[in-house]
Amino acid sequence: MKKVLFLWLVYVLLLPCICSAELTKQDIYEIQKIVKDEISGVNLRIDDMNKRIDDMNKRIDDMNQQMNKRIDDITNLLYVILSGMFALVGFVLWDRRTALAPAIKKVKEIEEVDEKVKKALREYAIQEPRLAIILKGVGLM
């Protein structure tokens, strides 16, 4: 265990000496060139991503406009259908009144004639006893 601890201590103390080698100007220039190349590559990828995002935003905006247009068309169609339904209800009510008025008038005329016939039969039944018996049998007297 002491050996391992000793080796580890030597390694830790000598490691900074090994790693602290000085960089030359050529090394610094090469490192800068590599970093610039990598940064320019990253910038190109970022620009490509921005272009893709802009294209997707444009497509989404176009789809939103199309969806809004379709919703507006459906709303207008709904208004047309509702207007047609109200017009149909109005026509039915108007037609019912105009169609029923002559029928009601005719029924009233028939009722008046019926009452007159009943009155005439009752008056004649007073003079004719056989008719009176018949009218009582059918419930008209």
Q: What is the pLDDT along the chain (141 residues), one digit of tens a residue?
A: 777 777 777 777 766 665 556 778 888 899 999 999 999 999 999 999 999 999 999 999 999 999 999 999 999 999 999 999 999 999 998 888 887 888 889 999 999 999 999 888 888 888 988 888 888 888 876
Tell the residue number behind the tokens 């105009």, with chain if given.
Answer: 98
pLDDT at residue 19, rounded to an integer: 59
Q: Residue by residue, what is the 3-state secondary structure of 20-40?
A: CCCCCHHHHHHHHHHHHHHHH
pLDDT at residue 120, rounded to an integer: 87
> Which tokens go with 14?
């000598």
At residue 23, φ and ψ (nearest 5 deg) are -90, 140
End-to-end CA distance of the chain: 138
Q: Which residues have C-beta within 8 Å of that of residue 1, sequence separation ≥ 6?
A: none
Up-side HSE of residue 10: CA atoms within 13 Å toward CB? 6
Q: What's the whole-model pTM score?
A: 0.47
SS3 1: coil
Helices 25-127 and 129-138, axial angle in degrees (round to 10): 150
Domain segments of the chain: what residues?
A: 26-138
In the chain, how long is the greatest CA-to-CA distance? 155
